[in-house]
Homo-oligomer: A and B are copies of this chain.
Amino acid sequence: MLPSERHAIILEEVSRQPAVSIRALTERLGVSRETVRKDIEQLAQENKLNQVRGGATSVRTHEPPMVDRTQTNREGKERIGSYVASIVPDGASVIIDSGSTTLAAAQALATNHQYLTIYTNDLTIASVLSPAASEVTLLGGRLDFSENATMGPDTLDHLSQYNAEYALIGVGGISARTLFTDFSLEGASLRHMMIERSQRPLLLADSSKFDVIGKVAMKPLPLDVSLVVDSELPKDIFEALSSEPVEIVRV
């Protein structure tokens, strides 16, 4: 088995689970402990994974908490928000996903618009838009503490009653190999339905999402979407997206 094969397998394992042990890898790869250790050492230097005692962990096992996320690449998120506010006309109906990027968009909408109809599962976004919209519908369901948003089957049920002209969707991560990924299955299902339920879905991804791989792959995009980004996409991601029904908007 070639080193590159081993590396690929190690990376696959580590992206499928949050961590792998050297012990497990020696069996899977049929090589010695020491070889696996050196492979991991090498991959860790390339920032493909984290080396920990006894094995390796994925570079990003958990999504950082919301409080931190609102601060990362704030300027990029604000630029995306302004763009969204410029293309969504006043009076439109908009489904808005939870997250820090969509929150930035909601804040931008709140300053320019008055007669929006909003559907969202994010409590913060609902509060932000409440004074600036004709009507805000909060999707019901189990409250996820860290996201401050509702999730789960009830939320899907509730959303299924509505259609909107626009949808603002956040993504967990984009990479060339896995395309769009998410950090929870519930979140992925919800976002998928949000896309289906709108005429014009906008995927919002600031540059901090590039090359990030979440643990859940998103289902294939059901229809044409626009991907709004704040900086040039890495070339490999750009090429990987060329076969998808995605229009890329750089703002």
Q: What is A's interface to B at a CB cutoff of 8 Å? A: 1-5, 8, 11-12, 15, 18-19, 21, 50, 52-55, 57, 60-62, 123, 126-127, 130-131, 135-143, 145-146, 148, 150, 154-155, 158, 161
Query: Known: A3-B53, A8-B62, A19-B2. Is A141-B137 also a contact (CB below 8 A)?
Result: yes
Residues from chain B with a CB closer than 8 A to the CB of A57 are 2, 4-5
Residues from chain B with a CB closer than 8 A to the CB of A130 are 143, 145
Residues from chain B with a CB closer than 8 A to the CB of A18 are 4-5, 8
- The 8 Å CB contact of A145, one of B11, B15, B53, B146, is B15
Contact call A143/B158, Cβ cutoff below 8 A: no
Contact call B2/A21, Cβ cutoff below 8 A: yes
Whole-angstrom CA separation of A52 from B8 in the bound complex: 13
Closest to A57 in B: B4
- The 8 Å CB contact of A8, one of B61, B137, B161, is B61
Q: How far is the CB of A175 from chain B (nearest CB, A)?
A: 21
Q: How far is the CB of A243 from chain B (nearest CB, A)?
A: 34
Whole-angstrom CA separation of A148 from B126 in the bound complex: 10
Contact call B137/A52, Cβ cutoff below 8 A: no
Contact call A143/B148, Cβ cutoff below 8 A: no
Contact call B140/A158, Cβ cutoff below 8 A: yes
Query: Known: A3-B53, A19-B8, A53-B2. Is A136-B126 also a contact (CB below 8 A)?
Result: no
Residues from chain B with a CB closer than 8 A to the CB of A5 are 18-19, 57
Whole-angstrom CA separation of A4 from B51 in the bound complex: 10
Closest to A150 in B: B138
Residues from chain B with a CB closer than 8 A to the CB of A141 are 137-138, 140
Closest to A63 in B: B67
